[in-house]
Structure 1
Amino acid sequence: MFSKKAGWSRNRTMLVSMAAPFMIITFIFYYIPLFGWVYVFFDYKPGIPLGNTPYVGLKFFELALGPGSDLYKVLKNTFVLSFLALLTAPLPVMLAIMLSELKNHRFKKLVQTTTTLPYFISWIIVFSLAFSMFSIDGLVNRILGMLNISDAPLNVLGNNAGAWYIQTAFHLWKTIGFNAIIYLAAISGIDLEQFDAARVDGANRLQTIWHITVPGIMPTFIVLLLLSVSNLLSNGFEQFFVFYNPLVADKLNVLDYYIYRVGILQGDYAYATTIGVFKTIVSLALLFTINQIAKKVRGEAIV
């Protein structure tokens, strides 16, 4: 009994020691910055000590949520782009299923590598490639001009009407291969005896996919979809930072980029912090709401 307790104590100490660096990093970069939330209650100006800064209470919350605020337009862009991303969520599942059904392993690796590689390319390089391809003097317009298909050049990156859909397409191109890896892992976890039994019963390939593969990866899809819903206010910053231009400014001004503009470019730290606090509160509310929905639907909570 003593040896078992001693062994458990050593294992527990080792596990805590392994987790400690990550816990410290998380505390430093995620919890200590929360003390900066105090700036939402002060009319803070850089260089002036907080003790000498006027206390304004909930003034910045009233400005953010009051009539005439730009926040509502920003939230519209954020929700529309997040909703479009949710609509494309089944596409990585379809790609994973098609890859799992390929019998030619070399072609399978080629497709998987080709679709996954864009995930590791920075958004700055993606914008450079997009600019060289789709700008007015880009490759696409040159080819169209040589073939006499279009007289007027296509301004893809400055198309205000299609800005949401174009950015969704870029995001899908960049992430579809990496997201498919998650579903490939889920497919590999399905019991192979189910496929053998289906073949014995005379099921064809489409029937096997519909009745075995799809139900097998559905729990993974639901969890990822629910987590995406809880993260609706986070579209990312880098993509809209590099693709932002005056022609599509009113469509790409999402919440993360709006906080950057107000806080860094305009120097209104208190108001930008207020928007950040608002985003955190709403995101937490969405997360716990989705967690309760998942608990009722799946019988098991996500977090």
Structure 2
Amino acid sequence: MRTVSNETAAQVPVTSGSKWNLIRRKLWRSRMMYLFVLPGTLYFLIYKYVPLLGSVIAFQEYSPFQGFLHSDWVGFAHFRKIFDNPEVVQVLINTITLSFLQIAVAFPVPILLALMLNETRNEWFKRLIQSLVYLPHFLSWVVVVGLVTIFLRSDGVVNGLLEHVFGIEPILFLQQPYLFKPLIVLEVIWKEAGWGTIVFLAALAGVNPELYEAAIVDGANRWRRIWHITLPGIRSTIVILLILRLGTVLDNGFEQIFLMLNPYVQEVGNVLDTYVYYKGILQSDFSFATAVGLFKSVVGLVLVVAANKLAKKFGEEGIY
């Protein structure tokens, strides 16, 4: 019986029919895997990609009665209004300020928590603290803001303590414009810091323990081990998460901001997410609201691409 060598088989041309049969066989062998991912694929197609077609109304004077096909085309008129309208400029400043406050203050907190938990030698205590700090992640923003309101309202727990223990008159925490942004950042830290800690603890688990042993032999104390071994070991994870965070720099989260807003803090607390809601839903200015949302998405995309290139320039992997 004559066999065909690998070199001879490699020289046999593959026709389009045989390629299709090969692809079909591979698809059939992996049919259960494709069936498993089908619900997730359909979710993103139906709820993420198909709605993108509606972005065309950002370039129209959209009327629900005329529809997409018959509404008047206005080009970039709505985008020019974004920068011509002083109200939008103020909203944009509020959004950027709040986002960079969250990046500067809230982003490092999970890193610090992960470093402290990583240095804890009592496993029972470590697991207890880790469970306690990430449990708030599972609470909705309605519950979180409700708790904050109960504690900080004029007749709440905090004002009760200030009045009865220190003799201080009640402070209207929720009506003070200068306290709005710090409260938002503190709520984000309390709710999400513990959940973000899990990612950094997973990254810390991949650091080679022999490096710590060698550092101890060389006489490095705990702080030097953290600075020269631990932090460089999770640097790539920090960079990737920072890049992804920059992509949402104009996305402050609608629910939290909307629930915390009131007439006293409207000027400093109104961000792009809530502004789109007010203009698009309450005032029925669908085209302008869509233009603002599209502008926000484009800025996020540009920041992600720029940050990724910058990370690669400094020797990091980036996200793609």
What TM-score, normalized by structure 1, do the two folds share?
Answer: 0.91
Identity of aligned pairs, percent?
A: 37
Q: Equivalent residues in 2 for 1:219-298 (5 A)?
A: 219-298=236-315
One-letter code aligned to 2:282: L
2:57 aligned with 1:33, yes or no?
A: no
Contact 1:136 1:153 in 2 (8 A): yes
Q: Deviations over 1:148-205 (max 9, x none)?
A: 331x211111110121122111111111111111110111111122222223333332
**C-alpha contact (below 8 Å) 1:79/1:233 kept by paired residues:** yes
Task: Show the counterpart of 1:148.
Answer: 166
Cα distance, 1:246 vs. partner?
0.7
Contact 1:263 1:269 in 2 (8 A): yes
Matched residue of 2:73: which SS? coil
Structure 2 unmatched runs, 5+: 1-5, 10-21
Partner of 2:124: 106
- How many equivalent pairs are there? 299
Q: 1:181 aligned to 194, 198, 209, which one? A: 198
Deviates more, 1:214-223 or 1:44-53: 44-53
**Does the CA-based 8 Å contact 2:239-2:318 persist in structure 1?**
no
- Cα distance in 2 for partners of 1:147, 1:19 equals 59
RMSD of aligned Cα (Å): 2.2
Closer, same or farther: CA 63–93 of 1 in aligned 2, 3 Å: same
- Partner of residue 70, structure 1: 87
Structure whose CA Rg is larger: 2
C-alpha distance in structure 2 between counterparts of 1:278 and 1:52, whole Å: 24
> What displacement does 1:33 show?
0.6
Residues 236, 317 of structure 2: 8 Å contact kept:
no
**Is the counterpart of residue 216 in structure 1 residue 247 in structure 2?**
no
| Deviation of the 1:60 alpha carbon | 1.5
Aligned position for 2:216:
199
Conserved? CA contact 1:96–1:180, under 8 Å: yes
Distance in 1 (alpha carbons) for counterparts of 2:317 and 2:159: 52
Whether the 8 Å contact between 1:294 and 1:302 is mirrored in structure 2 is: no
- Which residue of the other structure, out of 40, 45, 48, is the alignment partner of 1:22? 40
Counterpart code for 2:103: L
**Matches of 1:49 and 1:69, distance apart in 2:** 30
Hey, what's the Cα distance between the residues in 2 that align with 1:284 and 1:166?
28
Q: CA deviation at 1:248?
A: 0.7
- After TM superposition, the structure 1 stretch with the greater mean CA deviation from structure 2, 106-115 or 121-130, is 106-115
TM-score normalised to structure 2 length: 0.86
Paired amino acid for 1:94: L
* 1:80 partner letter: T
Report deviation, 1:249. 0.6
Give 1:244 shift: 0.7
Query: Which residue identity lines up with residue 39 of structure 1 in the other structure?
Result: I
Residue 80 of structure 2 is aligned to residue 45 of structure 1:
no
